[in-house]
Amino acid sequence: MDMAKKIMELAEKYRDYTAQNLAKLVKIPSESMKEKEVQLELKRQMEEAGFDEVKVDGLGNVIGRVGNGKRVLVIDGHMDTVGIGNRDNWNFDPYSGEIKDGFVHGRGTVDQEGGPAAAVTSGRILKELGFDRDVTFYVVGSVMEEDCDGLCWNWLIEEEKLKPDFVISTEPTNLNIYRGHRGRMEIAVDFRGVSCHGSAPERGKNAVYMASKVALEIEKLNERLKDDDFLGKGTVTISVFESGSPSMCAVADFVHMHLDRRLTWGETKESAVKEVEDVVKACGLKLGKLNEGGEAYVYVMHYEETAWTGMKYGMEKYFPTWKIEPTEHVVTTGVDTFKELFSKEPKVDKWTFSTNGVTIRGKHGVPLIGFGPGNEVNAHAPNEKCPVDDLVKCAAFYALYAYKI
């Protein structure tokens, strides 16, 4: 019997096991910085599956290892989820983990605890087959991705010194192979006006009017940003617009504007900041720090929070664009793995949203593809559910990929 057939049979054998493991994870609420209990459950599942080593790092990522070869393959999936939003929009308990009609139901099934649950089964399959390739197979259940994508992998590479040769992201791909997505960054613009009594606004300088002119020009900026044949167009939108004044009867003397900037191929942090600065200057405002005489200050925001372990960690909120050429080994191996398992050609595509790939590939240059259970349209949405068939196929894919890479 060939290896692909053996692995597929084992993945089918563990169909219920994989679904039940995911259900156990889903039953534990695990928003960013509150992942402790779900991480301990994932660690238990890896140990039960017979992984050679399982540990929790300083940031709270769970790292499971099978094998001890020279080349390092990591299967990554973040274990934190977003909240449930309006409970009335759900047709079932978001934390039920119910297995029904071929789906596991609940928050996190697609985005994205389904991937790690399938990867645990992959590790079990490799142990059962006596995996003997010169490859170390890791499964990483990462943390804080929903709050700051890539932060966990900045920690893993720079602090834990885990530098893989290849990574598969288990973010949802609808069983397609993904090879890139746009980057993103969070840009802030602060405006300083001069307050005065609202009965005589001509005495002051209204920061809202200053910022509004810039806002309208940013809307126009969005129309002329770069495009890429594969990744699509760069975009910018204003997501927060907050003003302040001494009272409701005074001219506003401060505005904070938050921009969600999506970066396509060829766009950089520097180019994106300069575009906004040029808009500000074109509106006749003096650029510079507000406490140094500037009327508008443009800057990239910074993230820093405390993980469930108590570790405080942060990074600049710039998440580079990345893509992998379809001819690269990490992609062609994925295509060959898919064809051997499922006897058809895979669709090779990209994500709409952002993933840990911004750090793994975008910042650190590690070859990366995506292959995960569920459809990304269900991410962050009510009535989230993941097909059990997808879990089975992903478990087989990750295991066979380890033999082929």
Ordered DSSP codes for 304-328: EEE-TTS-EEEEESEE--EE--TTS
pLDDT of residue 373: 98
Longest dimension (CA), the chain: 86
Topology alike, domains 3-181+321-404 and 183-304 = no
pTM comes to: 0.95
| Residue 80 annotated to the active site | yes
End-to-end CA distance of the chain, in Å?
20
Beta bridge partners of 56: 62
Distance between CA atoms of 62 and 356, rounded to whole angstroms?
Answer: 15
| Residue 158 annotated to the active site | no
According to CATH, what is the number of the domain 183-304?
3.30.70.360
pLDDT of residue 1: 64
Catalytic residue among 57, 76, 80, 171: 80
Q: What angle do CA 49, 329, 402 make, to 5 degrees?
A: 15
Q: Name the superfamily (CATH) of residues 3-181+321-404.
A: Zn peptidases (3.40.630.10)
Catalytic residue among 41, 145, 149, 228: 145
Distance between CA atoms of 366 and 354, rounded to whole angstroms?
Answer: 16
Strands 71-78 and 166-169: parallel
- Quick one: residue 304, left, alpha or beta (phi over 0 = left, psi -120 to 50 = alpha)? beta
Question: Residues 100, 376: contact at Cβ < 8 Å?
Answer: no
The per-residue pLDDT string of the chain (405 residues; one tens digit each, 9 = 90 and over) reads 699 999 999 999 999 999 999 999 999 999 999 999 999 999 999 999 999 999 999 999 999 999 999 999 999 999 999 999 999 999 999 999 999 999 999 999 999 999 999 999 999 999 999 999 999 999 999 999 999 999 999 999 999 999 999 999 999 999 999 999 999 999 999 999 999 999 999 999 999 999 999 999 999 999 999 999 999 999 999 999 999 999 999 999 999 999 999 999 999 999 999 999 999 999 999 999 999 999 999 999 999 999 999 999 999 999 999 999 999 999 999 999 999 999 999 999 999 999 999 999 999 999 999 999 999 999 999 999 999 999 999 999 999 999 999
Nearest CA to 360 out of 38, 62, 63, 77 is that of: 77
Write phi, then psi, for 380 (nearest 5 degrees): 70, 10
Count of C-beta atoms within a 10 Å radius of residue 177: 22
Question: Residues 61, 140: contact at Cβ < 8 Å?
Answer: yes
Domain extents for the chain? 3-181+321-404, 183-304
